[in-house]
Amino acid sequence: MSDMKSRQLDLQQSVEELLQEATRQGASAAEAAVSSDAGLSVTVRLGETETIEHTRDNGLGVTVYFGHRKGSASTSDLSPQAIKETVEAACNFARYTSEDDCAGLADSSLMATELPDLDLYHPWDQSVEEAIELAIRCETAARETDARIFNSEGATLNSHNGLQVYGNTHGFIGGYPSSRHSLSCAVLGKQGESMQRDYWYTLARKGGQLESAESVGEMAAKRTVARLNGRRIKTQQAPVLFQADVAVGLLRSFVGAIRGSSLYRKASFLLDQLEKPVFPAFINIHEDPLLPGGLASSAYDSEGVATSRKDFIRDGVLSSYVLDSYAARKLGMQTTGNGGGVRNLRISSGDQDREGLLKSMQRGLLVTELMGQGVNMVTGDYSRGVTGFWIENGEIQFPVEEITIAGNMKEMFLGLQEVGSDIETRSSVQTGSWLIDNMMIAGE
């Protein structure tokens, strides 16, 4: 820990040098961020070590303002010479970018003044051998779960520790260490002509909070064999249940649509919806940036602005956009402390788990995987490839594949029937499964 503390002081000094150099070169304002990460990644396959990767990444970025002109530069080299050259490059750009009234640092009065320890740093003291052993236990469990598992893409253990420091010429400087560990496994199953692959993973700030290696392996295997002998279904309209891990994508699309940069560019399907119903009245969506141990926790945003708990959807009504100071100025509003995005976002959930929701749906499509990028953020048009299961009488009948679902996200959001209690916790955007009243399925 003390080692990390001194490293943090080093990085803070780099940030201060960057800001001083920027001022020395004539910038009227500047901001800088420096990060340093180190990690280990091991992959085993078929019981043998496949790769051992030692990672070490440094990054430094600076943005300078000459009045309302802006320039940026970044480098992976943290030496004093590189700092000087990087600031020079940024200043050079500021000579050619245009005068932009909205450009500049966030207001100094909004800077975070309290920087509590959010419990984000839990290095995992394990040797390479221990990491390999854990991955082998995970993969072995997957291979032993079902006789139809015949091959493997392996199991991977990742363990990363990082430090980030941000500062600006308002005098704000903040930094904190954080850790992130994950274990994943992907295996292949075969039955007759059908060959399928699926995976599972666990992710946490603390090594001890990961799901057990065996349960990750088993889950990967079960998901894989469940997909075997998938069929197509007829083209039709039907209700759709998005399993929690894929429903996260829908919630992310919502966030993308209320992000300031999409709004001022008029590139959002939720334009001019503030104070209007976007979801049914039973839905609330809020963020908690100060959540201790959260995957996206931070007391300040990417501009040093203090973050705070807030609602984006209150009783179905859009109550706030996701703004940084630039987008806020473009829209004539105030930043919401969301420079760099949302932090620990969660949608309110009902009391039924996935199985309960299947019973509510009775007949329809359960989506467990989405493919492709068919999400049009300007119009809200949505068309994706799907793997999942066909549901009759509230129960899984058979796996389905090679079909698509399509609709418009505005209507999908308003057509949300229920959100499950089966919250996906491996993401900084968290939700349970989503039951949507009706979508178009294209198949045979």
Partner 1 sequence: MSDLIQIAQQNILAPVGLGESDLDRMLGELTGQGVDAADLYFQSSRLESWVLEDGIIKEGAHNIEQGAGIRVISGEKTGFAYSDELQLPTLQEAARAARAITRSGGSQRVQIAGTPIAKQLYAPLNPLPSLNEAEKVELLQALDREARKQDPRVKQVIVSLVAAQDIILVAAIDGTLSADVRPLVRMNVHVIAEHNGRREQGSSGGGARESLGYFIQESRGLEYAREAVRQALVNLDAVDAPAGTMPVVLGPGWPGVLLHEAVGHGLEGDFNRKGTSAFSGRIGEQVASSCCTVVDDGTLPGRRGSLNIDDEGTPSQNTVLIENGILKGYMQDKHNARLMNTASTGNGRRESYAHLPMPRMTNTYMLAGEHNPEEIIASVERGLYAVNFGGGQVDITSGKFVFSASEAYLIENGKVTRPVKGATLIGNGPEAMSRISMVGDDLKLDKGVGVCGKEGQSVPVGVGQPTLKLDELTVGGTEQ
Among residue numbers 174 through 203, which ones bind partner 1 (CB under 8 A)? Answer: 188, 194-197
Is residue 418 at the binding interface for partner 1, with CB under 8 A as the rule?
A: no
Strands 364-371 and 236-242 turn out to be: parallel
44 vs 358, beta carbon nearer partner 1: 44
Of the candidate residues 10, 16, 85, 211, the single one contacting partner 1 (CB under 8 A): 85
Interface positions, 109-168, toward partner 1 (CB under 8 A): 128, 151, 153
Binds partner 1 (CB under 8 A): choice among 8, 23, 25, 49: 49
Please tell me whether residue 72 binds partner 1 under the rule CB under 8 A. Answer: yes
Q: Which residues have CB under 8 Å from 353's CB, separation 6+?
A: 420, 421, 422, 432
Judged by CB under 8 A, which stretch of 163-171, 208-216, 224-232, 355-363 contacts partner 1? 224-232
Q: Do 133 and 305 form a contact (C-beta atoms < 8 A)?
A: no
Which three-class secondary structure state does DSSP give residue 246?
Answer: helix
- Supply the DSSP symbol for 169: T
- Which of 53, 144, 355, 392 forms a contact with partner 1 (CB under 8 A)? 53
Q: Which is nearer to partner 1, 357 or 405 (CB)?
A: 405
Greatest Cα pair distance, the chain, in angstroms, is 72
Which position among 5, 9, 47, 52 is part of the footprint of partner 1 (CB under 8 A)?
Answer: 52
CA 29, chain centre distance (Å) = 31
Query: Considering beta carbons, is residue 2 or 98 the nearer one to partner 1?
Result: 98
From the list 30, 90, 255, 358, which residue makes contact with partner 1 (rule: CB under 8 A)? Answer: 90
Q: DSSP letter string over 259-311?
A: BHHHHHTT--TTTT-TTSB-S-TT--EEE-TT-TT-TT--SB-TTSBBP--EE
Is residue 358 classed exposed, middle or buried when 0-12, 13-18 and 19+ CB atoms within 10 A define those classes?
buried
- State the nearest-atom distance from the C-beta of 289 to partner 1, in Å: 26
The site map against partner 1 for 265-294 (x = CB under 8 A) is xxx---x-----------------------
- Cβ distance to partner 1 smaller for residue 385 or 394: 385
Of 10-18, 135-143, 317-325, 365-373: span binding partner 1 (CB under 8 A): 365-373
Neighbour count for residue 282 (Cβ, 10 Å): 13
